[in-house]
């Protein structure tokens, strides 16, 4: 009896991927799609006057789209060294009335390339739906924390205050761009159509006795039966491999977005300000029992690095396709195209899981603000002193000296920032002592951050999500198997 543990399995499918994406790139999906394409071709050819194609043949084909005997197909492929012809033979065994006309006038790329385009279109439908859910969840997070002040960072050094919600809008904005790119890539996909061996449609011209209009109509009929509005107007034996660049580029771009988001969360987890979900029985370290490693975010970063480089496969492959085609694309595409979507699918599921359970620690955030805010407030203190009649340059020198003393306590003694206490004890600053609480209110340092969140969600996120209202109603929490 075969043991699934005695041979290599891709972790993308065995460990991480969703069932729907794994199925989309499965043999069942691929070969049933081929059979549907052969059926579509027969339907269109019969409709346009090929009398050798009977109703019985078409009905048998329709009835056996998913009735695939893989052992027969494997034996045939071993014998003929040709996967398409192996499956033509296998299909003909269960649809004998159709056996003489299956694949009539077509080249192998009729099913392989058209099949790939259908699978890529369906894969985009899956990841677009998942991306929309992530954006929706993060938008609710941004709205909830729209006005919670937090320390901003430039160069990972303390900077002016922002809000937790405003920071989340930076993530969402990039995800919106990814959604736009996903939609463009999906909507730009066309069918290869019915083009013949080198794209000239010569075989179909022979079938229809030189009738150009019928051949053009055949191309359009098959395209529509296969769920597309248009076919690519010209091609060689294959659809241009430049299309694969257009397919993978948005996915690799999303990988960069996901990596940035997950890295931010990892850094915030180190600061103990924001954490990804951590389950009751989860173990962070086999040795250090106290650890709460951000393993989900680390997984996103790890997989995203793989995702970001896959577009290079498509670029290299497109560049070396000679004339009407070469076969050095095939093995590469069998790996890079499925892996790009499987990886995107996994990253999106993991991101959704993180965002659904993300925990914010306001007290930790407040404490870090209080450590840095006194230094940030020095300009406000100087202005307040000037309004009370003080000299700007004299005040600057007074607060400079106190700031350096407070900085020494923080850096050399490991103490708390005591600048404000020093100001309260310095007679020079007595005119503004009563104003200090107001001058140090964090909410006065966040500018228009809450309003920016509101405007962004209303004017940009809401319209982008509106077409997916029904999909968003069907919300299921993302569960990770490992």
DSSP 231: B
Collapsing DSSP states into helix, strand and coil, what is residue 152?
strand
Please indicate whether residue 285 is annotated as part of the active site: yes
DSSP 190: -
Could you tell me the two tokens for 455? 């405007």
**For residues 301 and 209, what is the distance between their CA atoms, to the nearest angstrom?**
58
| Residues with Cβ within 8 Å of residue 195, at least 6 apart in sequence | 107, 110, 201, 219, 231, 235
Classify residue 181 as exposed, middle or buried by CB count within 10 Å of its CB (0-12, 13-18, 19+).
middle
Could you tell me the two tokens for 313? 């496969």
Residue ranges of the alpha helices (H) in 48-107?
55-63, 70-80, 83-94
Q: Which of 71, 155, 286, 481 is catalytic?
A: 155
User: E strands of 142-245, at which residues?
Assistant: 149-154, 157-163
**For residues 242 and 340, what is the distance between their CA atoms, to the nearest angstrom?**
16
**For residues 156 and 190, what is the distance between their CA atoms, to the nearest angstrom?**
45
Find the farthest-apart pair of alpha carbons in the chain and give their distance in angstroms, rounded: 105
Give me the torsion for CA of 421, 423, 429, 435, rounded to 10°. Answer: -60
**For residues 41 and 58, what is the distance between their CA atoms, to the nearest angstrom?**
10
**For residues 208 and 211, what is the distance between their CA atoms, to the nearest angstrom?**
6
Q: Are 329 and 315 in contact (CB under 8 A)?
A: no
Q: Which of 14, 285, 330, 443 is catalytic?
A: 285
Could you tell me the two tokens for 287? 């040795």
Please indicate whether residue 89 is annotated as part of the active site: no
* Residues labelled catalytic: 155, 285
């Amino acid at each position: 009896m075969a043991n699934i543990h005695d041979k290599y399995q891709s972790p993308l499918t065995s460990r991480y991927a969703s069932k729907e994406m794994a199925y989309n790139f499965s043999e069942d999906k691929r070969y049933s799609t081929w059979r549907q394409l052969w059926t579509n071709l027969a339907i269109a050819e019969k409709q346009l006057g090929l009398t050798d194609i009977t109703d019985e043949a078409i009905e048998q084909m329709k009835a056996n789209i998913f009735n695939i005997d893989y052992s027969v197909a494997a034996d045939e492929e071993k014998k003929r060294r040709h996967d398409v012809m192996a499956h033509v033979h296998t299909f003909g065994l269960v649809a004998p009335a159709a056996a003489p006309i299956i694949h009539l006038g077509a080249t192998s790329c009729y099913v392989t390339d058209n099949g790939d385009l259908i699978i890529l279109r369906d894969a985009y439908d899956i990841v677009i739906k998942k991306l929309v859910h992530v954006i929706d969840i993060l938008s609710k997070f941004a709205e909830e924390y729209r006005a919670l002040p937090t320390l901003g960072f430039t160069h990972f050094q303390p900077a002016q205050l922002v809000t937790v919600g405003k920071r989340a809008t930076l993530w969402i904005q990039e995800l919106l761009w990814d959604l736009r790119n996903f939609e463009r890539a999906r909507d730009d996909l066309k069918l290869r159509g019915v083009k013949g061996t080198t794209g000239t449609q010569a075989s179909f011209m022979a079938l229809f006795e030189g009738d150009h209009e019928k051949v053009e109509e055949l191309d359009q009929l098959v395209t529509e039966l296969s769920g597309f509005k248009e076919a690519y107007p010209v091609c060689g034996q294959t659809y241009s491999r430049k299309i694969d660049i257009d397919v993978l580029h948005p996915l690799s771009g999303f990988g960069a977005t996901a990596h940035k988001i997950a890295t931010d969360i990892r850094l915030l987890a180190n600061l103990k300000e924001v954490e990804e979900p951590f389950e009751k029985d989860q173990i962070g370290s086999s040795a250090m029992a106290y650890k709460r490693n951000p393993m989900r975010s680390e997984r996103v970063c790890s997989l995203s690095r793989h995702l970001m480089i896959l577009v290079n496969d498509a670029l290299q492959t497109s560049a070396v396709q000679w004339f009407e085609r070469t076969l050095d694309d095939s093995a590469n595409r069998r790996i890079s195209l499925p892996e790009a979507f499987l990886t995107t699918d996994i990253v999106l599921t993991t991101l959704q899981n993180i965002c659904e359970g993300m925990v914010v620690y306001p007290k930790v955030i407040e404490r870090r603000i209080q450590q840095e805010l006194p230094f940030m407030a020095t300009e406000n203190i100087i202005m307040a002193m000037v309004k009370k009649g003080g000299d700007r340059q004299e005040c600057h020198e007074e607060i400079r000296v106190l700031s350096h003393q407070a900085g020494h306590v923080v850096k050399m003694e490991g103490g708390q920032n005591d600048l404000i206490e020093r100001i309260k004890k310095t007679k020079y600053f007595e005119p503004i002592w009563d104003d200090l609480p107001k001058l140090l209110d964090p909410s006065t340092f966040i500018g228009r951050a809450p309003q920016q969140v509101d405007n962004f969600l209303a004017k940009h996120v809401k319209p982008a999500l509106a077409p997916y209202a029904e999909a968003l109603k069907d919300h299921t929490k993302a569960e990770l198997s490992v």
